[in-house]
Amino acid sequence: MSTLSPESTADSPSVERTYAAFSRPMWQRVIFSREFAVIALLIAAVVYSRSEVAYFDGPQTMYYLFRDSASVLLLALPMTAIIITGEIDLSVASTVGLTSVAFGMLIDDGGLSATTAALLAIGIGVLCGAFNGFLIAYVGLPSIAVTIGTLALFRGIAAGLLGTESRTEFPEGWTDWAKQRIFEDQPYPMILIPFAVLAIAFALLIHFSPFGRGIFEIGQNDEAAHFTGVNVARTKAILFVLSGAVAGFVGIYTTLVTGVARAENSTGLELSVIAAVLLGGVSIFGGRGALHGVLAGVLLIGVIQRAMLLNGETINVINIVIGVLLVLSVMSTSLLAAARRVVEVSRGARSSGRSSHSAGKRSLS
């Protein structure tokens, strides 16, 4: 059976084949992207806040902005990769709470050193992630159902272990490290160092490795990804294990920076993480996203929250503003797609009109 192509027809003009995503120059692909729009919004929010909000440019404000955003920044790294595959992890905050309780009890009740307790707490986080990954990747259950269940399960185990009590006795050197600045006269807390290391590692993993290309292929179409050689189940399982490991680290950091290990630690934090990831341009349907946009989204939410707090706004008003921003962010994908379709239809109509006009001229001649 023969196949007709534009080049094979003698009468039709040759058509240049281009991949739509690469049909524009690189500078246009960078600037006219959702990630760049979020970065531009972040810069605008910082400039406005520094000029209009009292005390925003003070070293204490920036220090607490980075320190309070650190947990979301860390959890957003594996969450970005998970959502790009089309899955979601709603249990990260409960894993943080469980590992926080485990870390406190291993030190206070078990008499273990902080180093051993920290390693065991991260190991518990890995087990939580592996449990999620097994049910989702190998049993085939939907991630939203599995992680809603483990959200309650992990938080329930933490509450069962410690009840309403808390643990507050930790090595002073560890708690000081969690609150220290990298340089005494700078607003950058020490937690930014491990965050930078993990951010570089996840950026290399997601954007510059065959494993990362498999993540995007799974998000586009997991069945097609399977036929191109991507091990879909193993990729998803690894991502959930990484999510659990990072949540374990955040559990230790949360315990040290607040000085309290209790079951309620980081309750509801998963919503902030998912909101920041979606605001940063990651598609909730999978297959699209970039880490730099997500990090800008986390910092944008942090800047808005800090500026509004300094202006005396209540937490309810702040939540409304962040919620509206998130809804607009999610809607923008559909609105931009609709606008693009309108432009393409308009161009197609003009092209068709020109072709008909040219054909008419040829027939008359």
Secondary structure of the chain in the HEC alphabet?
CCCCCHHHCCCCCCCCCCCHHHCCCHHHHHHCCHHHHHHHHHHHHHHHHHHHCCCCCCHHHHHHHHHHHHHHHHHHHHHHHHHHCCCCCCCHHHHHHHHHHHHHHHHHCCCCCHHHHHHHHHHHHHHHHHHHHHHHHHCCCCHHHHHHHHHHHHHHHHHHHHCCCCECCCCHHHHHHHHCECCCCCCCECCHHHHHHHHHHHHHHHHCCHHHHHHHHHHHCHHHHHHCCCCHHHHHHHHHHHHHHHHHHHHHHHHHHHCCECCCCCCCHHHHHHHHHHHCCCCCCCCCCCHHHHHHHHHHHHHHHHHHHHCCCCHHHHHHHHHHHHHHHHHHHHHHHHHHHHHHHHHHHHHHHHHHHHHHHHHHC
Distance in angstroms (rounded) separating the CA atoms of residues 323 and 330: 11
Specify the pLDDT at position 8.
42
- Joined together, the tokens standing for residue 67 give 């320190």
Distance in angstroms (rounded) separating the CA atoms of residues 282 and 297: 10
The answer to whether residue 182 scores a pLDDT higher than 60 is yes
More confident residue, 164 or 119: 119
Residues 6+ apart with CB under 8 A from 92: 75, 79, 243, 247, 269, 270, 273
Q: What is the pLDDT of residues 191-206, one digit of tens each?
A: 999 999 999 999 999 9
Specify the pLDDT at position 15.
47
The position carrying tokens 């008909």 is: 356
Establish how many alpha carbons lie within 13 A of residue 210's alpha carbon, considering only the half-sphere containing its beta carbon.
5
What confidence category does residue 236 fall into, taking pLDDT thresholds of 50, 70 and 90?
very high
Phi-psi region of 289 (alpha: psi -120 to 50; beta: other; left: phi over 0): left
More confident residue, 128 or 22: 128
The answer to whether residue 283 scores a pLDDT higher than 90 is no
Look at residues 89, 297, 290, 84 and name the one whose alpha carbon lies nearest to residue 203: 290
Answer whether 253's CB lies under 8 Å from 70's CB. yes
Distance in angstroms (rounded) separating the CA atoms of residues 219 and 221: 6
Answer whether 243's CB lies under 8 Å from 92's CB. yes
Q: What is the mean pLDDT of residues 143-163?
A: 94
Average pLDDT, the chain: 86
Give the residues across from 194 on adjacent strands: none
Amino acid (one-letter) located at 302:
G
Give the residues across from 189 on adjacent strands: 181
Q: What is the pLDDT of residues 303-333, one digit of tens each?
A: 998 899 888 888 888 888 888 887 887 777 6
Specify the pLDDT at position 12.
47
The answer to whether residue 189 scores a pLDDT higher than 60 is yes
pTM: 0.84
The answer to whether residue 110 scores a pLDDT higher than 70 is yes
